[in-house]
Amino acid sequence: MAQGPQFVAGDIRFTTKGDHLCAIALAWPDDRKLVIKSLASVSLHCRGEIAKIGLASSDSNLLWSRNAEGVTVNLPEKLPSNYAYVFKITPLGA
């Protein structure tokens, strides 16, 4: 039986829902710090300010920081699921 692809913490997909951006991480980083490089402060993909980032499956508000390297999200100790992890990114003013 063929085994599926092995993902790493930098494997992230995106979608939108209303005013929110959803980042779908395909792997959980061992150090519990997810870096989303495409949302860096200098990125052309995300020019606006970010108000908050949380897990889509809860009302959580995770600690995060943003700089020229990307957005670093401090993840909780407990994995929310066994597959992909969806983060709801709320822009400022939404």
Sequence-distant (6+) residues with CB within 8 A of 3 are none
Please tell me whether residue 41 adopts helix, strand or coil conformation.
Answer: coil
For residue 55, how many other CB atoms are within 10 A of its CB?
18
- Give the pLDDT confidence of 14-68 residue by residue, as tens digits: 999 888 999 999 988 999 999 999 999 998 877 789 999 999 878 778 999 999 9
pTM of the model: 0.85
Please tell me whether residue 17 adopts helix, strand or coil conformation.
Answer: strand
Residue 82's pLDDT is: 78
**CATH T-level topology, domain 12-91:** Immunoglobulin-like (2.60.40)
Residue 94's pLDDT is: 61
